[in-house]
Amino acid sequence: MNVIAASEIRGSSGVSDKDLKAALSQWLSTPPRRIDRLIFQALLAAAAIKQHVRRDCGLYLASRHPARPTMIALLEAVCAHHKQPKPFEFVNSVSNAAGFHVAQQLGLDGPNLFIGAGPRVWSQLLGLARTDLADGVVSQALLIVVDEQEGFCVQGVLVEGDGVAAGGFDELVSGVAVERLDLNVTL
Amino acid sequence: MTPVYLQRGALQCALGDTLASASLALSQGVHPQGQAFLLHELQQPRTYLHVAGNAEDFDARMDRLLSETLGHGHSALDDCLLIVASTSLDITELEAQASAQGHFLPDNSTSLDRVAEQLRERWGFADAFTLNTACTSAANGLLYGARLLAGGQFSRAVVIAFETPSALAMQGFGALDLLSPSGDYRPFHPQRDGLVLGETYAAALLALQPGDAPLARLLGGFSACDTTSLTTTREDGSHIDWVMQQALRSADRSASEVALVKLHGTATQANDHAEANGMLSLYGENMPALCVLKPWLGHTLGACGVSETLLLMHALQQATLPGLEYATDASLPLSGEPIALAEDALVLANFFGFGGNNATLVMQCCAAGEPQ
């Protein structure tokens, strides 16, 4: 399994969705409308290396949490205020909504999986991607991990070939030029 | 794809709190009784299908499911992968918290791998992760669980799939105007008026060996993303047709060998229309037997890949599938008579979801063995 390209986007918790949209505009001329923070973050990691991505590329996306602002809005509307949720917020809360938008923007129509990111997330994504690469279902696999706690970090790795690759992001991208973007806001 | 057996399974659903009782109720054509809830603001009633039997703590349900699925005296699970397939995960707990507090804070948010990691630690699974692709979650769990076994990293895999009675799901689908006002769940009926949500807890054990009494053999499958729309697939059914063809190719089988297609059949206008077009593209007018299961289970969302597969394969193994009362009115040639298949018949099962995810599984029936 060879790493073709990689990206890493970091930012502080003060980075707004508007900031994310502005950053995304350097790679995408018409980003989708009414999308949430998790979708912006996944799009950033994918768009940064989109010139390397072929159409028959599988997408294997992971996030530690759902988009918290979306979940807060939904939970407070439905459970605290007994309102109907906003349809676009409900639809965005589907975990694979981020994968859908990445696939749509990059023109990918193959496998598109979303998993919860835990301590072994890279080996799990690589395992899933390997099944599709080895069986010839896809010729490339785009792996993206979104993690937002205090600040956020989104990492993307584009791989091909059916050999075994192991390790986390740093091991995978060793020797590869990583497209990096630092969106830290100094308060 | 290397064939993989569904060795064992467990199911709690509106039809019964065991796989055997649910399967028997299905074969007898018994319909579950729904309970009404009100859509917020609109104050209109909609129907929900709760699990039959007594209320049970979530952890106790998970443990009972795993005990039933693994069987008594099961060996250590250090060779076994766990895949958690659900769109609800721990949402009912978060809903209770938001309701009690009157707000929800960022720190109240839990990680998406929480349930998987807790089960891995409690049961000793070799590895565990949450797979969430909306209503194809569990179908993808079966498909990728099976293919990961073929890769040799694990010798067994458990796919545990559930949907809890989430207020967010009930109100969210209500806000999208996708819930049936009549509560009469009728996929492919010309006057269908939407879906009825259902609660379920289900688990399936996958292995390369058949075990004592396999439910089915998973021969292949395919899953892909239709980027046309986040909430509907292509109306002409072309993506569904392509996914079914790729699934058959992965199983090295042809459409003409299929004895039965389990349709996804949500009873929403757009998706039934697209699936009907997909079936017409693949088969023309000469279709195999067709069935739907959601009138008996409700739409169990991310869990339907396991809940419907277990119910389908168990019912076919033990008896028959019931005929559909409104078959003569349906837009596809669904059977009005009970369906019985040969012991080794080929079954295609469709599962579609938000996020453009379309998935098809190709399975083969297995002869009935010892009762589970």
Domain count, chain B: 1
From the list A71, A87, A108, the residue facing B175 with the nearest CB is: A87
Q: Is residue A187 part of a domain?
A: no
Helix/strand/coil percent split, chain A, to 5: 35, 25, 40
Is residue A5 over pLDDT 60? Answer: yes
Band of the pLDDT at B253, cuts 50, 70, 90?
Answer: very high
The set of residues, in sequence order, having a beta carbon less than 8 Å from that of B75 and lying 6+ positions away, is: none
Between the two ends of chain B, the Cα-to-Cα distance in Å is 27
- B52 membership: H or E segment, kind and range: none
Q: Is B191 left (phi over 0), alpha (psi -120 to 50) or beta?
A: alpha
Mean pLDDT, all residues of chain B: 95
Dump pLDDT digits (tens) for B87-106: 999 999 999 999 999 999 98
Dump pLDDT digits (tens) for B108-119: 999 999 999 999
Band of the pLDDT at B54, cuts 50, 70, 90?
Answer: confident
Domain count, chain A: 1
**Which residues in chain B have their CB less than 8 angstroms from residue A113's CB?**
131, 133, 140, 144, 223
Global pTM? 0.97
SS3 A74: helix
Q: Is residue B371 part of a domain?
A: no
Mean pLDDT of A117-134: 96
Helix H segments across B124-264? 137-150, 167-175, 238-250
**Which residues in chain B have their CB less than 8 angstroms from residue A79's CB?**
95-96, 98-99, 104, 167-168
User: Phi and psi (nearest 5°) for A70?
Assistant: -65, -45
Q: Nearest chain B residue to A97 by CA: give it.
A: B355
Band of the pLDDT at A187, cuts 50, 70, 90?
Answer: low
Q: Is B142 on the interface with A (CB under 8 A)?
A: no
The CB density around residue A149, as the number of other CB atoms within 10 Å, is 11
**Which residues in chain B have their CB less than 8 angstroms from residue A65's CB?**
109-112
Q: Is residue B138 part of a domain?
A: yes
User: A interface mutation test: which of B94, B121, B127, B129 has the most A CBs within 10 A?
Assistant: B129
Angle of CA points A149, A62, B230, to nearest 5°: 110
Instruction: Say which CATH number the domain at B28 has.
Output: 3.40.47.10
Q: Nearest chain A residue to B89 by CA: give it.
A: A116
Q: Is residue B370 part of a domain?
A: no
Q: Is residue B108 part of a domain?
A: yes
Q: Is residue B106 part of a domain?
A: yes
Q: Is residue A107 part of a domain?
A: yes
The set of residues, in sequence order, having a beta carbon less than 8 Å from that of B8 and lying 6+ positions away, is: B68, B69, B70, B71, B204, B205, B211, B213, B215, B372
Dump pLDDT digits (tens) for B202-231: 999 999 999 999 999 999 999 999 999 999
Is residue B369 over pLDDT 80? Answer: no
**Which residues in chain B have their CB less than 8 angstroms from residue A71's CB?**
94, 104, 109
Band of the pLDDT at A186, cuts 50, 70, 90?
Answer: low
Cross-chain residue pair B134–A68, CB shorter than 8 Å: no
Chain B closest CA to A177's CA: distance in Å? 29
From the list A71, A90, A118, the residue facing B129 with the nearest CB is: A118
**Which residues in chain B have their CB less than 8 angstroms from residue A104's CB?**
227, 356
Mean pLDDT of B155-184: 97
Is residue A164 over pLDDT 80? Answer: no
Instruction: Say which CATH number the domain at A112 has.
Output: 3.40.47.10
Quote the pLDDT of residue A1.
87
- A90 membership: H or E segment, kind and range: helix A87-92
Quote the pLDDT of residue B133.
97
Q: Nearest chain B residue to A98 by CA: give it.
A: B355
Cross-chain residue pair B175–A90, CB shorter than 8 Å: yes
Alpha-carbon dihedral B168, B170, B171, B173, rounded to 10 degrees = 110
The set of residues, in sequence order, having a beta carbon less than 8 Å from that of B152 and lying 6+ positions away, is: none
Dump pLDDT digits (tens) for B10-31: 999 999 999 999 999 999 989 9
Mean pLDDT of A94-99: 92
Domain around B349: 4-365
If contacts are CB pairs under 8 Å, which of residues 25-54 in chain B contact chain A? 39-42
Mean pLDDT of B153-168: 97
Lowest mean pLDDT among A40-49, A157-166, B143-152, B196-205: A157-166
Is residue B371 over pLDDT 60? Answer: no
**Which residues in chain A have their CB less than 8 angstroms from residue B250's CB?**
135, 137
Band of the pLDDT at A141, cuts 50, 70, 90?
Answer: very high
Cross-chain residue pair B111–A128, CB shorter than 8 Å: no
Is residue A65 over pLDDT 70? Answer: yes
Question: Percentage of residues in chain B with pLDDT exceeding 90?
Answer: 93
Q: Is residue B372 part of a domain?
A: no
Q: Is residue A178 part of a domain?
A: yes
Q: Is B130 on the interface with A (CB under 8 A)?
A: yes
Domain around A40: 2-182
Dump pLDDT digits (tens) for B262-273: 999 999 999 999
Band of the pLDDT at A106, cuts 50, 70, 90?
Answer: very high
Mean pLDDT of B233-246: 96
